[in-house]
Amino acid sequence: MTDRLTPILTDSWDVPRAWTLPVYRDRGGYRALAKARGMSTEDLVNAVKGSGLRGRGGAGFPTGLKWSFLPAPDGGPRYLVVNADESEPGTCKDVPLMMANPHVLVEGVAITSHAIGCDHAFIYLRGEVVHVYRRLLAAVREAKEAGLLGSLEITVHAGAGAYICGEETALLDSLEGRRGQPRLKPPFPAVAGLYARPTVVNNVESIASVPGIVLGGGEWFSGMGTAKSTGHGIFSLSGHVTRPGQYEAPLGITLRELLELAGGIREGHELKFWTPGGSSTPILTAEHLDVPLDFEGVAGAGSMLGTRALQIFDETVSVVRAVARWIDFYKHESCGKCTPCREGTFWLQQIMHRLVAGKGTAEDIETLSDAAGNILGRSFCALGDAAATPIQSGLQYFREEFEAGTHTPADELFPPRASLIVPAASQEVPA
C-alpha cells in the first residue's frame, strides 16, 4: 500500500538537518536551478505548462498558464510573490514543508524568478510561525552567501496573522503596507499586482514543485496523478485517524486508501464526516470514501479539493458544534469590506450558537439556510463562500442534527469528551 505514496517534497523530512544547505545539496539540491539557468524563459514556462501542474493553494489554476499571462517585459520590475499565509482551519502542509525543507522553496523561487524575469521575489509568511520565519531567513541567507541566487533578492515578509491575507490581492495590499483587504479584479495581479506591476502569486507547494519538474521533466510529473490533475500533492490527515500526518501521494488517491495508510479511523469508531480540503470545502461523508481526490473527482462529489486538508470526524462529533466552530472563525476573519460576508457571518454565528445551546427557534433553520444562500456567490471574495459552505453541506447531510438544536443542546447529544483524541485524564488541569 505504501507504494501509493510519492515522497518527493517530503522525502527528506526525517533526514538530520534537512533544512541546511549542505544536506540539501548533498541530496541533489540546486541542480534544477543550474539546469534552469541554461534554459530560455520560454522553455521553462512551457515545461511547467506541459507538466500540468495546477496551483496547490486551493483553486487549482494551471501554474504555467498563470506565468504566461504576464505581459511582455517593458524594462520595469516584475515580481514573484509566494503565498505562505496558510491559515485555513485544517490546512497544515506549507508550514511543515518550509520548516523541514526550506531550500526546495528557495530553489523554486529562484527558478520561477528566472522564468518570469523577476529580480525581486517575496515570500509572504503567516507571522505567527516565527520558527519558520527564522528558518526561511537562514535558508535565503545560506543560498545568497553560496552565490546561488545571483542578483535575485528574496524578501521573507512576516504578516500579522490574518486569514484574509491569504487571498492573493489582500496579501498584496498587506505587503504594500496597507490593511489586508481584497482588491477588485480585474486587473489581475499578472497585469497590475505588487506596486501595480506584473506579479505572479503562487502557493508554497506550487513553487516547491517546480525544481522537481525542471529536473524530472513534465512527463515525469504528469505520469503521476490523473489526466487533468497531474503530479504529487501533500495530503494532511488530522482528527480521528490512528496516524494523523502528512501523506504525499499522487492526486486521485482516495480517502479509503489514505485511511489505510494512516491506520484507519481510531479504534472502535467509524467515519462520520470529513473535509476534503479544509473548512472552506463542503463536508463529505462515508459514502464518499472512494471519490478520487483530484480536482474533478471532488468537484463531482459536490465539494472541492482545496488544500487537501482532510479533517476526519468520527461518530462522536456533533456536526452542529463543528460547523459552529468554523463559523466563529469566519466571522472573526471576515475583513468587513462587503455586506453579505460582514453581516451574514454575524447572523450565521448568532443562529449557530443558539442551535449548539439547544435554544434554536422554529424559524432558525430556514433563516440559516437563507442567509448562507445569500452569502454564497454574492460576496466580494471567496471568504464569504467559505463561511456558507459548511452550513449548506451540514444541512444537506445532517439536517436532523440542526433541527435537534431547537430543543436539545449539542453537548447532550454528543458529549465532547467522547471526541477527545488525547485520553481525557491528561486534559484535566492539575489541582
Ligand X SMILES: Cc1cc2nc3c(=O)[nH]c(=O)nc-3n(C[C@H](O)[C@H](O)[C@H](O)COP(=O)(O)O)c2cc1C
Whichever of 205 and 385 has its CB closer to ligand SF4, that residue is 385
Q: Does 65 bind ligand X (CB under 6 A)?
A: no
- The one of ligand X, ligand SF4, none whose footprint includes residue 163, by CB under 5 to 8 A per kind, is ligand X
Residue window 91-110: x/- pattern of binding to ligand SF4, with contact defined by CB under 6 A? --------------------
Instruction: Find out whether 187 and 180 touch, Cβ atoms under 8 Å.
Output: no
> Residues 38, 102, 310, CA angle at the centre, nearest 5°?
115
Using CB under 6 A as the binding rule, whether residue 115 contacts ligand X is answered as no
C-beta closer to ligand SF4: residue 355 or 386: 386
Q: Are strands 153-158 and 309-314 parallel, antiparallel or unpaired?
A: unpaired
Q: Is residue 165 involved in binding ligand SF4 (CB under 6 A)?
A: no
Site for ligand SF4 in 354-413 (CB under 6 A): 379-381, 383-384
Provide the b/e sequence for 300-324 (b: ≥16 CB within 10 Å). Answer: ebbbbbbbbbbbbbbebbbbbbbbb
Closest to ligand SF4 by CB, 98 vs 387, is 387
78 contacts ligand SF4 (rule: CB under 6 A):
no
Q: Which residues contact 431 (CB under 8 A, 6 or more apart)?
A: none
- By CB under 6 A, is residue 379 in contact with ligand X? no
Q: To the nearest whole angstrom, how small is the minimum distance from the Cβ of residue 338 to ligand SF4? A: 3
Question: Cell for 399?
Answer: 439536517
* 199-203 vs 232-239, strand pairing mode: unpaired
**At its nearest, how many Å lie between ligand X and the CB of residue 82?**
8
Cα of 137 vs its chain's centroid, Å: 22
Distance CA(246)–CA(25), nearest Å, equals 24
- Residue 341 sits in the site that holds ligand SF4 (CB under 6 A): yes
Three-state secondary structure call for residue 93:
coil
**Cα distances (Å, whole numbers) of residue 182 to 79, 125, 206, 313:** 18, 17, 22, 32
Residue 142 interacting with ligand X (CB under 6 A): no
Distance in angstroms (rounded) separating the CA atoms of residues 246 and 264: 14
Of residues 170 through 229, those in contact with ligand SF4 by CB under 6 A are 182
Q: Residue 384's binding partner, choosing from ligand SF4, ligand X, none, with beta-carbon cut-off 5 to 8 A by kind? A: ligand SF4
The candidate with the shortest Cα–Cα distance to 92, out of 245, 196, 198, is 245
Report if residue 55 touches ligand X, rule: CB under 6 A: yes
What residues between 158 and 177 interact with ligand X by CB under 6 A? 163-164, 166-168
| SS3 state of residue 362 | coil
Q: Which H or E run includes 241?
A: none
Is residue 167 a contact partner of residue 382, using CB atoms and an 8 Å limit? yes
- 166 binds ligand SF4 per the rule CB under 6 A: no
Position among 199, 334, 369, 393 found at the interface with ligand SF4 (CB under 6 A): 334
Phi, psi (degrees; rounded to nearest 5) at 257:
-65, -40
For residue 248, list its beta bridge partners.
Answer: 234
Closest CA to 138 of 10, 278, 18: 18
Q: Is 101 in the site for ligand X (CB under 6 A)?
A: no
Closer residue to ligand X in complex, CB, 104/410: 104
Of the candidate residues 152, 214, 335, 351, the single one contacting ligand SF4 (CB under 6 A) = 335
Residue 381 engages ligand X in binding (rule: CB under 6 A): yes
Provide CB contacts within 8 A for 268, sequence distance 6+. Answer: none
Tell whether residue 56 is a contact of ligand X (CB under 6 A).
yes
- AA identity, residue 323: V
Site string for ligand X, 194-233 (x = CB under 6 A): -------xxx--x---------------------------
Cβ 44 to ligand SF4 shortest distance, Å: 34
Select the residue interacting with ligand SF4 from 336, 377, 415, 416 (CB under 6 A). 336
Q: Is the dihedral of CA 306, 101, 86, 144 positive or negative?
A: negative
Assess 57 for contact with ligand X (CB under 6 A): yes
Q: Kindly state whether residue 52 participates in binding ligand X, applying the rule CB under 6 A.
A: no
Task: Compute the least distance from the CB of residue 322 to ligand X, in Å.
Answer: 19
Residue (317 or 383) nearer to ligand X, CB: 383
55 binds, among ligand SF4, ligand X, none (CB under 5 to 8 A by kind): ligand X
3-state secondary structure of 272: strand
CA distances, 303 to each of 216, 314, 334, 392, 416 (Å)? 32, 19, 22, 11, 27
The nearer residue to ligand SF4, 256 or 378, going by C-beta atoms, is 378
Residue ranges that bind ligand SF4, judged by CB under 6 A:
164, 182, 334-338, 341-342, 379-381, 383-384
Residue ranges that bind ligand X, judged by CB under 6 A:
55-59, 61, 63, 83, 85-87, 163-164, 166-168, 201-203, 206, 381-383
